[in-house]
Copies of this chain bind each other. A is one copy, B any other.
Amino acid sequence: MALIVKKFGGSSVANNERLFNVARIIEKDYKKGNDVIVVVSAQGDTTDDLIAQAYSVNPNGPSKREMDMLISAGEQMSISLLAMAIETLGLPVVSLLGWQAGFVTDSHYSIARIKRIESERLRAELAKKNIVIVAGFQGLNKYDDITTFGRGGSDTSAVAIAAELKADLCQIYTDVDGVYTADPRIVKNAKKLDEITHDEMLELATLGAQVLNNRSVEMAKKHGVELEVLSSLTPDVKGTIVKEVVSMEKTIIRGVAKDSNVSRISIVGLADQPGIAFKVFNRLAQAKVNVDIILQSVGRDGTKDITFTVTKDQCDAAIESIKALSDSLKYKHVVHDESVCKISIVGTGMETHPGVAAKMFEALYDADINIQTISTSEIKISVLVDIKDAERALNAVHDKFIH
């Protein structure tokens, strides 16, 4: 007998047919004698629909406190409907809202962080042999007001419960059957991974693999929670296990990812003085701009260039921040380019295998693709290429490493 936490996203419970599909997945594990806790998101487009309704009432944006009150109703409906579906199978079940399940959060409405789970109720329901359906994405702050966790928050809810109750397994059901070496919609040779480490998963999530929410993987890593990513439509197909240490495999490259949400900004002709990098990036940090790749050119004519990337929505804020520095920072001009794409390879132990970077560059050279910028970390190598070359680059790099 084990304790299993399962999380189903909105598309997995979008209609009655899907609800019963999920109910039968749960039934199977419960009838084997396991304790089962299920975390559910709102059905289908419910959350988006509620947000649209809120903006139709207040186009300038409602207060976040009231928005959280509104959208948390979405999971309230999905948990009770799923519980009703499970009731028809003759199984004991109870649905719990975030606060009933003990989720205590800080007071940052719409992006709340979980402070702790007061798990007495969860434990009591398991002791009664109830299947427990928990509303994901939501908790309660110290004012007894409802908070939500932001996009992907239900993954975090599931991992938090698994960590708190030391679950034997935490299964994240999505509409793909695991983590792939690349996006299968773009790379036809993409292969499903049996295993991947938390760190590798984090890099892939950041890079736009869009399988697991980043906060949930960080939390899983911190608390040593083993995750399985699998599909609710093919629940009997083994998914991908995300865990701390994975067994050796032939390939050291776990995946290849493409991220188009990138703007490249260059400050050209900076006077070469001490502290210019500090000035630039301190200012950007104050403006809450998250900088990704940073590259500083070697000097030329007593000036140097600094190039960095940000997400597209932060491009304007970044450029304004730089321009606001013009009093204390001497430079020729600022240019930005939105027609770029980041291609990355991820794999633990990459740094102990010489030649990985060279092999990546060779793949791009063979495909006649120009590399604009290079950035490396212990488990990742990223390059910027022109957006028009993005898909070809992804395939070329993928097929070079993964056969």
- Please measure, in the bound complex, the distance between the C-alpha atom of A69 and the C-alpha atom of B134, giving whole angstroms: 12
Contact between B50 and A67, CB atoms less than 8 A apart = no
Contact between B85 and A58, CB atoms less than 8 A apart = yes
Residue A339 at the chain B interface, CB threshold 8 Å: no
Known A19-B57, A57-B84, A100-B144; contact A69-B62, beta-carbon cutoff 8 A: no
> From residue A346, how far is it (CB to closest CB) to chain B in Å?
41
Residue A73 at the chain B interface, CB threshold 8 Å: yes
Contact between B100 and A84, CB atoms less than 8 A apart = no
How many chain A residues touch B (CB < 8 A): the figure is 36
Known A56-B16, A84-B63, A88-B57; contact A50-B77, beta-carbon cutoff 8 A: yes
- How many copies of the chain does the oligomer comprise? 2
Identify which of B57, B76, B81 contacts A76 (C-beta below 8 A). Answer: B76
Residue A54 at the chain B interface, CB threshold 8 Å: yes
Tell me which residues across on chain B come within 8 A of A94, comparing CB atoms: 65
Residue A53 at the chain B interface, CB threshold 8 Å: yes
Residue A66 at the chain B interface, CB threshold 8 Å: yes
Tell me which residues across on chain B come within 8 A of A83, comparing CB atoms: 62-63, 66, 69
> Which of A60, A76, A88, A121 neighbours the largest number of chain B CB atoms within 10 Å of its CB?
A76
- Please measure, in the bound complex, the distance between the C-alpha atom of A209 and the C-alpha atom of B76, giving whole angstroms: 35
Known A58-B87, A66-B95; contact A76-B79, beta-carbon cutoff 8 A: no
Known A54-B84, A144-B100; contact A70-B60, beta-carbon cutoff 8 A: no
- Please measure, in the bound complex, the distance between the C-alpha atom of A237 and the C-alpha atom of B159, giving whole angstroms: 56
Tell me which residues across on chain B come within 8 A of A85, comparing CB atoms: 57-58
Residue A240 at the chain B interface, CB threshold 8 Å: no
Closest B residue to A94 by CB, please name it. Answer: B65
Tell me which residues across on chain B come within 8 A of A309, comparing CB atoms: none
Identify which of B16, B65, B87, B121 contacts A63 (C-beta below 8 A). Answer: B87
Known A16-B56, A58-B88, A100-B144; contact A73-B76, beta-carbon cutoff 8 A: yes
Give residues of chain A (99-147) contacting chain B, Cβ–Cβ below 8 Å: 100, 121, 144-146
14 contacting pairs across A/B (C-beta < 8 A): A54-B80, A57-B84, A57-B85, A57-B88, A69-B76, A70-B80, A70-B81, A72-B76, A73-B76, A73-B77, A73-B80, A97-B146, A100-B144, A100-B145
Known: A63-B84, A67-B84, A72-B76. 12 other contacts (CB 8 A): A58-B84, A58-B87, A58-B88, A62-B80, A62-B87, A63-B83, A66-B80, A66-B83, A67-B80, A69-B83, A73-B80, A100-B144
